[in-house]
A = this chain, B = another copy of it.
Amino acid sequence: MERQALQDAIKAFLQEDIGRGDITSEAIFGEQEFGKAKLVARQDLIAAGVGSIAATVFLIQNGRIQTTRAVEDGKAVDAGDSLLESEGPVVDLLKAERTALNLLQRMCGIATLTRQFVEKVHNYDVRITDTRKTTPGLRLFEKYAVRVGGGANHRFNLTDGVLIKDNHIAACGSISNAVTKIREEASHMLRIEVETDTLEQVKQCLECDVVIIMLDNMNLETMENAVNLVNGRVLVEASGGVSLKTVENIAKTGVDIISVGALTHSAKACDIGMDWIEEGHL
């Protein structure tokens, strides 16, 4: 993630939670009172955003806060394990706490769920990807968490990938026409992906410059037929309502990519808290 964008986002998040100050803590703690606290996993989880995000939250709140990462992003962590230690003015640790936790809980939640999907299909040569069903304002954070969890990213936004859907096909009369029209306009550096509902459409894709064929909400049998039809000439992506229960059977069909909206729209926040190690007056 680019530093600048990351920092701007975190400043806004801190501002949202702190407002014009922590009226309780500022009334009680002076600027000279220092403390040390750690963020602790209260459940098993995959770490995501520890060093890059949570530590930055503390640092942006006050440049004098020192942080020590106890675990690298992507590692499995047990309940009770420490993720990050932070040391600095008590009042700033308290002000940054909630924002750091809210981000971390969500990112670890996504990484943990992604890892579960990835493990379900580890015997298959298939890539688990996210979708654009992310939380508004957090796409950079959530797509990073997917990668940390072992998944891959689908297109980030509507600009950096061509995906021809039913409306586009209808408007152009055929897949082939749509592809031709796009090829004239779009950068030569992009591949073209088409969303298909039927084997007939899959066939049409194979007759023009389509490099990824998305099978949208097809049943397992149709997917398998599609994979056979394609026979390795282009990439095949399964999409639509994929769950931990269904993902392995989908992988068995031989698709190359499985995109899973649930990675970001249905991941539960992990339980993480902040415990104090010591407080004192410097």
A residues 190-247 with Cβ under 8 Å of B?
Answer: 190-191, 193, 211-212, 235, 237
Give the most central of A12, A18, A159, A171: most B CB within 10 Å.
Answer: A159
The verdict on A110 contacting chain B, using a C-beta distance below 8 Å, is no
| Cβ-defined contact, A18 with B159, below 8 A | yes
A15 to B3, CA, bound (A): 10
Query: A150–B143 Cα gap in the complex (Å)?
Result: 33
Q: Are B189 and A161 in contact (CB under 8 A)?
A: yes
Q: How far is the CA of A99 from the CA of B137 in the complex (A)?
A: 10
Stretch of A66-74, A76-84, A114-122, A128-136 at the chain-chain interface: A128-136
A13 CA to B237 CA, complexed, in Å? 27
Number of copies of this protein chain within its complex: 6
Q: Could you tell me the distance in whole angstroms from the C-beta of A45 to the nearest C-beta in chain B?
A: 14
Partner of A137, one of B2, B24, B137: B137
Are B158 and A19 in contact, CB atoms less than 8 angstroms apart? yes
Contacts A/B (CB < 8 Å), 13 sampled: A2-B21, A5-B20, A17-B157, A21-B159, A23-B161, A23-B182, A23-B187, A27-B181, A27-B186, A98-B158, A137-B138, A155-B187, A160-B189
The interface residues of chain B lying within 8 Å CB-to-CB of A134 are 102
Query: Do B265 and A269 have beta carbons less than 8 Å apart?
Result: yes
Once the chains bind, are A160 and B19 in contact (CB under 8 Å)? yes
A32 at the A/B interface (Cβ < 8 Å)? no
> Which residues in B have their C-beta under 8 angstroms from that of A163?
24, 189
Given contacts A15-B5, A20-B1, A182-B27, contact A160 B158 (CB under 8 A): no
Do B135 and A162 touch across chains, with their CB atoms under 8 A apart? Answer: no
Determine the chain B residues whose CB is within 8 A of the CB of A102 once the complex forms: 132-136, 265
A60 to B85, CA, bound (A): 28
Bound Cα distance from A28 to B192, whole angstroms: 14
A178 to B25, CA, bound (A): 10
Which A positions have Cβ atoms within 8 angstroms of B?
Answer: 1-5, 9, 11-29, 33, 35, 62, 90, 94-95, 98-99, 101-103, 105-106, 127, 129, 132-140, 152-165, 167-168, 170-172, 178, 181-182, 184-191, 193, 211-212, 235, 237, 256-257, 265-266, 268-269, 276, 279
**What residues of B have a CB within 8 angstroms of the CB of A127 in the complex?**
188
Contact (A20, B156) CB under 8 Å given A11-B4, A137-B138, A170-B279:
yes
Nearest-CB residue, chain B, relative to A182: B27
Does B159 lie within 8 Å of A23, measured CB to CB?
yes
In the bound assembly, the distance between CA atoms of A256 and B189 in angstroms comes to 13
Residue in B closest to A132 when the chains form the complex, CB atoms: B98
- A18 x B33 contact (CB < 8 A): no
